Amino acid sequence: MKREIMITDDGSKTIHMPDLNEQYHSKHGALQEALHVFINTGLEHFIEVSLSRKRNFQQNPLKILEYGFGTGLNAMVTALHDSKTPVEYTAVEAYPINEEEVLVMDYGKLLGHEAMYKHIHQCGWEKTHKINNHFLLIKQQKTFEQIADQDSYDLIYFDAFGPSTQPELWTVDIFKAAYNALKSNGVLTTYCAAGQVRRNMQAVGFKVERLPGPPGKREMLRATKSL
């Protein structure tokens, strides 16, 4: 399948697949989307709402599961997030991008941490790697259907290709597995705001909020596992 490099509206790059009319990140701004959807609305929300209520939250790592490692941008901005909270980050990807695409993306240069971005991509799969003093990364090469964790994660970044392109990644079964993978009061955040996606989340037990989206999108979704 043909793949092209696209420069998005905020100057950051993404990979565009013209045959699907789909890209790894928003054409309106790859970096802005990652920061808005996964950092501001996901990570910072969870720290403020959940961790701040626990007196000793800094003693235990915040465990994040990413559906769709892709270009590594979400992992990179999480590793660089200015927080004293240690993070253990598991990223699932069935089809990793190639070395040439990693170099062209150049997020390391964009964010001022070239060695870190190379390390995120060059470190081996299925092992735990220390990226910096508060960020551990575990990359797993498998499909979303193979995720079978139970009560393991505090936060999920759901960053699959859109439901119009790959509807099989946004089904009730997929969200049931995501719900099971989260701990009580765990949070899932995604750029998508499609009505059927929201209903599928609600069908498995999530409490779902429609929130303002990143540039170019009116809304996004955040789901909470409330027991």
Q: What are the tens digits of pLDDT across the range 178-207?
A: 999 999 999 999 999 999 999 999 999 999
Which CATH number, 3.30.450.20, 3.20.20.80, 3.40.50.720, 3.40.50.150, labels domain 29-224? 3.40.50.150
Report the C-alpha gap between 134 and 207 in whole angstroms.
30
pLDDT at 83: 77
Please write the tens of the pLDDT for every residue from 55-71. 454 568 999 999 999 99
Q: How far is it, in rounded angstroms, from Cα 56 to Cα 174?
A: 33
Q: State the Cα–Cα distance between residues 46 and 139, nearest whole angstrom.
A: 22
pLDDT, tens digit (0-9, with 9 covering 90-100), for 150-182: 999 999 999 999 999 999 999 999 999 999 999
Q: Is the dihedral of CA 23, 201, 35, 59 positive or negative?
A: negative
Euclidean distance between CA atoms 125 and 138, whole angstroms: 7
pLDDT band at 51 (very low <50, low <70, confident <90, very high): low
Give the pLDDT confidence score for residue 17 in this predicted structure: 84
Q: What is the pLDDT of residue 159?
A: 97
How high does pLDDT run on average in the chain? 92
Spans of all domains in the chain: 29-224
pLDDT digits (tens, 9 = 90+) for 128-153: 999 999 999 999 999 999 999 999 99
Q: Can you give the pTM of this predicted structure?
A: 0.94
Whether the Cβ atoms of residue 86 and residue 135 lie closer than 8 Å to each other: yes
CB-CB contact of 224 with 187 (8 Å):
yes
Find the helix packing angle between 195-203 and 172-181, rounded to 10°. 50
